Amino acid sequence: MQITATHVNYLHVCHRKLWLFMNAINMEPTSDIVYDGKLIHEFSYNERSEKYSEITVSHELENGITLIGKIDFYNRSLNLVHETKRSDKLELAHEWQVKYYLWLLTLNGVPNPTGLLEYPKLRKTMDIELSEADVPSLHRMVDSIVVLYQQRCPPTINSGICKNCSYFDLCYIDEV
């Protein structure tokens, strides 16, 4: 099984969304909100693509699970991950996504990586670090993702965030 930063992010947002994503039901290609986020990511820092590189890091755990992270903007000289997001409504999920990247870099021998979570529309940035206490939490998240994958599809959460989710129409088809 492969686990990505998207899995970690969705674990903090909605278990149903995560389950659907893990079972190859992907609604994001048709979402205007996701498209808007991609535009913000692409055009907020035009000079970034010249200075920083996109990297993919992976690590296989003892239980055979492969952790994979695709970091869009990585500053090798500072060991700094840049993660750009559209809105801070799901800030905790974004923080753990960056911590997941930092964990992967650490597992691959990168000393003391740090992260910068950026919200260009809000003109807000957050420094993100991986603490020793975060590592067991990340292991538990991986375990939770594996268990969730093996279960039946979770129920809807009926939250305010649902209305802006790319899975909304699928989850609430009977109510629309």
Query: pLDDT confidence of 29, banded at 50, 70, 90?
Result: low
Asked whether residue 47 carries a pLDDT value surpassing 80, the answer given is no
pLDDT of residue 174: 75
Mean pLDDT (whole number) for 88-92: 89
pLDDT of residue 96: 98
Q: What are phi and psi of 59, to 5 degrees?
A: -160, 135
pLDDT of residue 51: 66
The secondary element (H helix, E strand) that includes residue 146 is helix 134-149
Asked whether residue 109 carries a pLDDT value surpassing 60, the answer given is yes
Q: What is the DSSP string of 90-109?
A: THHHHHHHHHHHHHHHHHTT
- Report which of residues 98 and 33 the model is more confident about: 98
Mean pLDDT (whole number) for 139-157: 95
**Region of poorest pLDDT, from 19-23, 25-29, 65-69, 126-130:** 25-29
Asked whether residue 46 carries a pLDDT value surpassing 70, the answer given is no
pLDDT of residue 26: 83
pLDDT of residue 27: 77
The packing angle between helices 15-22 and 134-149, to 10°, is 60
Asked whether residue 116 carries a pLDDT value surpassing 70, the answer given is yes
| Distance separating the N- and C-terminal Cα atoms of the chain | 35
Share of the chain above pLDDT 70, in %: 85
Mean pLDDT (whole number) for 142-160: 94
**Which of these, 142, 131, 111, 120, lies nearest to 40 by C-alpha position?**
120
Mean pLDDT (whole number) for 79-92: 90
Asked whether residue 36 carries a pLDDT value surpassing 90, the answer given is no
Contact 27, 171 (CB under 8 A): no
- Specify the pTM: 0.88
pLDDT of residue 54: 84
